[in-house]
Amino acid sequence: MATPDKSAFLSGIIEGFYGQPWSPAERLELFDRMVAWGLNTYFYCPKDDWKNRAIWREPYSAAELEALASMVRACATRGIHFVYGLSPGLDIRYSHDDDRQRLIARFEQMLGIGCAHFALLFDDIPDRMEAAELAWFGSLASAQCQVANVVHRWVHERQPAARFLFCPTPYCGRMAERQLGGEGYLETLGRELAPAIDILWTGPEIISREITLDHIQALTRRLRRPPLIWDNLHANDYDGHRFFCGPYSGRPLALKSAVRGILTNPNCELALNFVAFRTLAAFVHAQDSWDPRAAYLAALDEWLPQFATAGAPLSREDVVLLGDCYYLPFEDGAGANSLYVGLRRLLSQPPAQWGPEAAEVHRQVVRLRDVCARLADLRARPLFYAIWRRTWELREEMDLLDRYLTLQRRGPEANQACASDFHLPDTYRGGLVARLQRLLVQQPNGTFLPAPPSPDPLLS
Ligand code: GDL
């Protein structure tokens, strides 16, 4: 049984993204990695596990409960804290006793299979209540506190060492500034939520580039306790074109002593999370200094064997370049960035003025295209299935750039328009979403303006 320690610093993984939850086999693989790397908490709250959110009132069937029980056992035998989270916020009636009883009934099912730690989540829900409920409680925050305190007390009586987590409706700085959940929401939590309850927080934003000590200290005063970080740095459920395999970064090491723990809600595809988890673990155990790039390179060295292919293995350089293309939400890795900058510079000049750097940029384009193509030969098929859609798209772009650069570098005598039989209108970069994306252009300050009119093959 995992030793429930009320003061332990929680470090680990949240399965809390939108989309298909991980499989039992994937979770076992994850738990083994967590043990090897020294992460102590797995938090189960997948958004699209129906019974966690959309139909939270329905009890688990015997088969579902057995599947959860084997997960709880797998964590217990490895000394990992298993936290079970329930999200009733879409339609809970806070004042109704039968809804509270349903929450308790679910937690009772989970206690029955050995689950020791619990969470209630109120993220991504309507921030309004029925008028009668509002009049009864005074605020959404008070309503949530009352329900959470009742359930917490019930759990605590049966499992005194249980950790109990709470995800607020405004769970980041921007939401709090916009007064999501009502004025004074966080202060109400600070006053009314049982002090032992851990409050989850994603930083200044849902996806936070940085989480500073100042930010956390100000929040701690409002919540009257240090928060528990729910980090979305590597989450990719909001963008189907991307995944993130850059290092844990933008957080000072001192953050660890200012919070109750750091949990990361990562890429939906488990196989793409190697660097995310490895570098979080390294951050959690780092003592004196933190160099994200060095941590990234060290993690890639450990990941490299999974890039063995049916033919010649991908080199470390290949994998670093690939990883650099899917680095972090706010940052490309050095190799990807220099390729992009080189291409931009080249394409802004007439080909007659291209110097020797054109050959180097072109060489990198071809190399990246080939790396993407060779991923089809990966021996680690789960990794290939997780990665291929994004890298196929990158391969297409590199292939087109290769054709363009080849043509232009032949010199003025090749003076002909660039066209490609593999990049035809409507199939290449096609579809309504792609067309819609071209209508409004985001400016560097974040605002949107209509794009200058441009030809649309479907309309011409
Ligand atoms: C969210 C959701 C989370 C989702 C993430 C990234 C929290 C507390 N909730 O808002 O489930 O995966 O953004 O899209 O972060």
C-alpha distances in Å from residue 99, one per residue of 62, 95, 107, 139, 397: 22, 8, 13, 18, 52
Q: Looking at the domain assignment, is residue 126 inside a domain?
A: yes
183 located within any domain: yes
Same domain, residue pair 174 and 225: yes
265 CA to middle of ligand 1, Å? 8
Residue 85 in contact with residue 68, Cβ under 8 Å? no
Nearest CA to ligand 1 atom 6: 235
Q: Which of 219, 223, 279 is nearest to 251 (CA)?
A: 279
Atom of ligand 1 nearest to the CA of 200: 8
Terminal-residue alpha carbon distance, the chain:
67
**What's the sign of the alpha-carbon dihedral 220, 226, 227, 233?**
positive
Establish if 453 belongs to a structural domain: no
Domain that residue 413 falls in: 316-428
The 3-state DSSP class for residue 389 equals: helix
Residue 422 resides in a domain: yes
Q: Which residues are catalytic?
A: 124
The token duo for 13 is 């993984």
- How far is Cα 276 from Cα 293, in angstroms, rounded to an integer? 12
Both 255 and 337 in one domain: the answer is no
- Name every residue whose Cβ is closer than 8 Å to that of residue 194 and which is 6 or more positions away in sequence: 148, 149, 152, 153, 164
Burial of 133 per CB tally in 10 Å (0-12, 13-18, 19+): middle
The pLDDT value recorded for residue 411 is 77
Nearest CA to ligand 1 atom 3: 17
One domain for residues 263 and 150: yes
Structure-derived torsion over alpha carbons of residues 369, 370, 371, 373, reported in degrees to the nearest 10: 90
Q: Is the CB–ligand 1 distance for residue 16 below 6 Å?
A: yes
Secondary structure percentages of the chain, helix, strand, coil, to 5: 50, 10, 40
164 and 258 housed in the same domain: yes
| Ligand 1: residue whose CA is nearest its atom 7 | 123
Positions of the chain with pLDDT lower than 50, given as ranges: 1-4
Closest CA to 169 of 151, 182, 152: 182
**How confident is the model at residue 71, as a pLDDT?**
98
Interatomic CA distance for residues 175 and 317, integer angstroms = 41
> Which ligand 1 atom is the nearest neighbour of the CA of 16?
11
275 closest CA partner among 396, 383, 131, 435: 383
Residue 330 maps to which CATH number? Answer: 1.20.58.240
**Of 185, 68, 74, 77, whose CA–CA distance to 118 is shortest?**
68
267 and 322 in a single domain? The answer is no
HSE-up of 345 (CA within 13 Å, CB side)?
Answer: 15
Q: Which atom of ligand 1 is nearest to the CA of 238?
A: 14
CA torsion sign, 270 to 271 to 273 to 277?
positive
Provide the whole-model pTM: 0.96
Site to substitute for ligand 1 among 124, 199, 230, most atoms within 8 A of C-beta: 124
Q: What does residue 328 show for φ and ψ, rounded to 5 degrees?
A: -135, 160
One domain for residues 30 and 137: yes
Residue at 62 is within a domain? yes
Confidence (pLDDT) at 3? 43
Task: Name the one residue in this structure whose structure tokens are 């391969």.
Answer: 395
User: Is residue 309 included in any domain, yes or no?
Assistant: no
Note whether residue 295 is domain-resident.
no
Which of 206, 228, 269 best tests ligand 1's pocket when mutated (most atoms within 8 Å of CB)? Answer: 206
Q: Are residues 181 and 36 in the same domain?
A: yes
What are the structure tokens assigned to 186, written together? 């966080």
Q: Verify that 242 and 390 share a domain, yes or no.
A: no
Decide: 202 in ligand 1 pocket, CB within 6 A: yes
Do residues 106 and 238 share a domain?
Answer: yes
Please tell me the predicted confidence (pLDDT) of residue 2: 41
Query: Does residue 457 sit within a domain?
Result: no
Distance in angstroms (rounded) separating the CA atoms of residues 114 and 28: 17
Domain count, the chain: 2
Q: Is there a single domain that holds both residue 331 and residue 281?
A: no
Q: Is residue 433 helix, strand or coil? A: helix
Q: Which residues of 385-422 are buried (b: 16+ CB within 10 A; e: fewer)?
A: ebbeebbeebbbbbbbbbbbbebbeeeeeeeeeeeeee
What's 144's domain CATH number?
3.20.20.80
For tokens 């499992």, name the residue. 159
Q: 174 and 139 share a domain?
A: yes
DSSP SS3 for 264: strand
- Domain check: are 263 and 325 in the same one? no
Inter-helix orientation angle 381-409/357-374, to 10°: 150
The crossing angle, in degrees rounded to 10, of helices 316-325 and 357-374 is: 90
